[in-house]
Amino acid sequence: MLFNPITLLPFLLLLTPTSSNPIPVPDGLILEARAGATCGSVTYTATQTNAASQKAYALYQAGTTLGSGAYPHTYNNYEGFTFAVDGPYQEFPILSSGAIYSGESPGADRVVINTSGKQAGTITHTGASGNNFLQCT
């Protein structure tokens, strides 16, 4: 069977950086392969979830927080979600505008990382009762 490199083109394009100013990865951050997430009616790209996770871990490592909600902060997983990595966990806003959270209103959606800097998942208040969360798809 002959190998046709043209069939790999869509996959190679996914691996090609799309920005001349890539977001630096803080020391120790181990990004898991992510396909993005849909939280309610908002869809986030892998680039957006990675950027929010990187910012969360950089702040966590520095021992600093942003906003009145002091993000990132401990996420206790009271809902009992199964994540891709073990905790303990930190939650950090991911904004539907595409901007990186810098202290403004956090909105409904969060990335979850563990304290080793690995991405755990994405959660949302959208559709949940009270202050609870639902897992994004």
Closest CA to 52 of 100, 87, 96, 115: 100
Of 32, 79, 91, 104, the active-site residue reads 91
Of 32, 79, 104, 125, which is the active-site residue?
125
* 132 neighbors 80 (Cβ within 8 angstroms): no
91 counts as catalytic: yes
Cα 57–chain centre separation: 10
Q: Is 134 exposed, middle or buried (0-12, 13-18, 19+ CB in 10 A)?
A: middle
Task: Check if 125 is active-site.
Answer: yes
Q: Which two tokens stand for residue 128?
A: 């949940």
Q: Which residues are catalytic, by number? A: 73, 91, 125
